[in-house]
Structure 1
Amino acid sequence: MCALVVLLALVLTGCSGSSGGADAGPSPEPSGEPSGEWWRPRPGLDWQWQLTGRLDTSVDVPVYDIDGFHHSKETVDALHRDGRKVVCYLSTGAWEDFRPDADDFPRSVIGRGNGWEGERWLDIRRTDVLEPLMAERLDMCRDKGFDAVEPDNMDGYRNRTGFPLTAADQLRYNRLIARLAHERGMAVGLKNDLDQIPDLVGDFDFAVNEQCAQYGECGRLTPFVEAGKAVFHAEYELPTGRFCADSRRLKLSSLLKRYALDAWRRTC
């Protein structure tokens, strides 16, 4: 009888003991470490990065990074049948006049050119405008069956964008992109943005870097490797003999590529 009274009292007061119910106080802050069931690439995986030209699917590597708009679900499915994981390249920090959704971006969020023809920085403070547009792009990647996303131009705050972007603006936006990818069951990589790696390594599943060897910065990617997360790295101007030894020591997945990012590659 006493046990029954106690049980009734617990129900009436909404007490949930140690199970964390509605009256258990505020939920703890997220740790920043992704916990979903998406792919998590480990350090040392070989890869191919091809964004232009006819796709060469004969490169015998476990990871392909390709343009999300240019390739179909059938292409992704074929790579999967060959045992490859496939990364969806998107520009999330810059507007591109050649994309099919270019007219969906209001002029108010389009800033200075970023050095590539037809591309301009975006005002990443305007998440009210950009979040639904980027969600649609990530929906496309998911629907085509991509395993992961490479969001490009993720360091606008370090550049002359035409907007007064801050480091805090960049952190907020980069975390938004990571969350949108994870909500769709895809891994997501941090592209460049070396200064914010300590803050963002927990939000991203791998890193993609250009030219860290040329600028003596590859050691700054160590937090990803120490977290068991791959670093996909490319150089354009240094011969492999100038960076491969360090890449092996740091456990980077390194390539020599042309700026065009066509099929040509040399690997460590």
Structure 2
Amino acid sequence: MRRRTLLVALLALLLTAGCAAAPDRDDGSPGPVWRPEPGTAWQWQLSGRLDTSVDVPVYDIDGFDHDADTVAVLHRDGRKVICYLSTGAWEDFRPDADDFPASVLGRGNGWEGERWLDIRRTDVLEPLMAARMDMCREKGFDAVEPDNMDGYRNRTGFPLTAADQLRYNRLVARLAHERGMAVGLKNDLGQIPELVDDFDFAVNEQCAQYDECARLRPFIAADKAVFHVEYELPTGDFCPEARRLRLSSLLKKYELDAWRRAC
């Protein structure tokens, strides 16, 4: 009986390890990161009490709002867990908000309490984003969803260029990979051809509404998932095309609570 108990315990340990961030190699460098395949079902919840009962293999949740115990519960249910972070905008409600100097804060990005960041200032932002990535890794997340990754296409208050955005987005991807986590490209459709090799999946909002979903094909061609959400279109208007393109598509409310309707 003791031998059987030990074997069960070892099996449980191995299964748990399989859901955690990629293990280090013998030389101490991170092992291969998780890469979700096209069509992988998911849940995206950034507000309200977390509903862990949705029967999907991937959850995308706020990295600050949830602790290691929550990630562990999702892992025990066989889920991979993505850590949502804003890497291109400052949020006044985050615990590290005071660590950002005023010189890197630009215009508001349309959401209360948020302002675009001067992504050219990697001397300031790299250590701040590295600390956020450390938080995700320490909580056991498998991947990172970095938000506001297309400041160069918006009125940020800074003269950002496409080259500035490419440099910063690759920096964000590197920080995640160095910590053994996968990383998704959020929106930034115009730079997908240049960035598809740097990211492990994509996250997109409203590509169907704006007739842009075909621009995500490079990720699908690379056998990488595209996690896609619409807010205003009925599922009948976007799901047929989403299924044809092999997108992982949901209808959600703008508040991104637990409610969802999958294609």
Please, what TM-score do these two structures have when normalized by structure 2? 0.88
1:261 counterpart letter in structure 2: L
Q: Show structure 1 runs of 5+ residues with no match.
A: 1-34
Instruction: Report what 1:26 is aligned to.
Output: none
Confirm whether residue 46 of structure 1 aligns to residue 41 of structure 2.
yes
Question: How far apart are 1:36 and its partner, in Å?
Answer: 4.6
Distance in 1, matches of 2:198 and 2:32, equals 14
| Matched residue, 1:122 | 117
- If you compute each CA radius of gyration, which structure gives the higher value, 1 or 2? 1
Question: Is 1:216 the counterpart of 2:194 in the alignment?
Answer: no
User: How far does the alpha carbon of each residue in 1:174-233 deviate from its partner, in whole angstroms, 9 at most, with x for none?
Assistant: 000000000000000000000000000000000000000000000000000000000000
Name the aligned partner's letter for residue 197 of structure 2: G
Secondary structure of the structure 2 residue equivalent to 1:115: coil
1:245 matched to 2:240? The reply is yes
> What's the counterpart of residue 79 of structure 1?
74
Aligned to 1:263: 258
Kindly tell me: are residues 172 and 36 of structure 1, through their superposed partners in 2, closer, same or farther at Cα, counting changes over 3 Å?
farther
- Written as runs of structure 1 = structure 2, the 5 A alignment for 1:130-141 is 130-141=125-136
**Equivalent residue runs for 1:1-268 within 5 Å:** 36-268=31-263
Indicate the SS of the match to 2:94. coil
**What is the letter of the counterpart of residue 184 of structure 1?**
R
> Percent identity, aligned pairs only?
84
> TM-score, normalized by length of structure 1?
0.87
Task: Provide the C-alpha distance between the structure 2 equivalents of 1:128 and 1:36, rounded to a whole number of angstroms.
Answer: 27
For residues 245 and 115 of structure 2, what CA distance do their matches in structure 1 show?
Answer: 34
Q: What do the CA deviations read for 1:5-50 (whole angstroms, capped 9, x no partner)? A: xxxxxxxxxxxxxxxxxxxxxxxxxxxxxx9511010000000000
In the alignment, residue 168 of structure 1 is paired with which amino acid? A
Aligned-pair CA distance for 1:259:
0.2
Runs of 4+ in 1 over 3 A off after TM superposition: none
Matched AA of 1:102: A
Give the match's secondary structure for 1:243: helix
Q: Is the 8 A contact 1:36 1:182 kept in 2?
A: no
Q: Say what the alpha-carbon RMSD is for the aligned residues.
A: 0.7
1:264, CA displacement in angstroms?
0.3
Could you tell me which amino acid in structure 1 is paired with residue 212 of structure 2?
E
Q: Which residue of 2 aligns with 1:30?
A: none
In 1, Cα distance between equivalents of 2:175 and 2:34: 15
Q: Deviations over 1:86-134 (max 9, x none)?
A: 0000000000000000000000000000000000000000000000000
1:200 maps to a residue whose letter is L
State the distance in 1 between where 2:185 and 2:151 align: 13
